[in-house]
Structure 1
Amino acid sequence: MEKNWVKIFTSTNYYQSEIVKQMLTGNHIDAVMLNKQSSSHQAFGDIEVYIHQEDFSQAIEIMILNQISI
């Protein structure tokens, strides 16, 4: 992954992580998901959402307004 990406959200729930990613991209913030779950058993591991470092403050505001726990 390129430099200047920071983790904004972590969950074991794929759909919750996808909702966070879509909410951020819907507000013009580039976001990517990194799935670290085991391919054989998805109950182990996390799914992380990353954004550019310069978008961090705006992303936090959006997440707070949408009542997403950080």
Structure 2
Amino acid sequence: MAATTRRTTIHFDQGLHEALRLKAAHTHRSVSDLVNDAVRAALAEDQEDLAAFEERAVDPVLTYEELLNQLKAHGQL
């Protein structure tokens, strides 16, 4: 185990734990490796979402009523 790892206790639903154990055995990886990869992927997705929100922060604000009026004006309602 690498020196930079930390030990923790995580409580999984029984079915999820069994699925993780089976996948770990099938892929010849540890449950810890699978969980670390899944958490990294989730955090990377969150980072992408935050970057997208930041990029769109300068977008004009459009009220619901304004949106409906624009759709109506373009014959989309």
Q: Taking structure 1 as the reference length, what is the TM-score of the superposition? A: 0.30
Higher helix proportion: 2
Which gives a bigger RCO, structure 1 or 2 (Cα 8 Å, sep 6+)? 1
Higher strand proportion: 1
Q: Taking structure 2 as the reference length, what is the TM-score of the superposition? A: 0.28
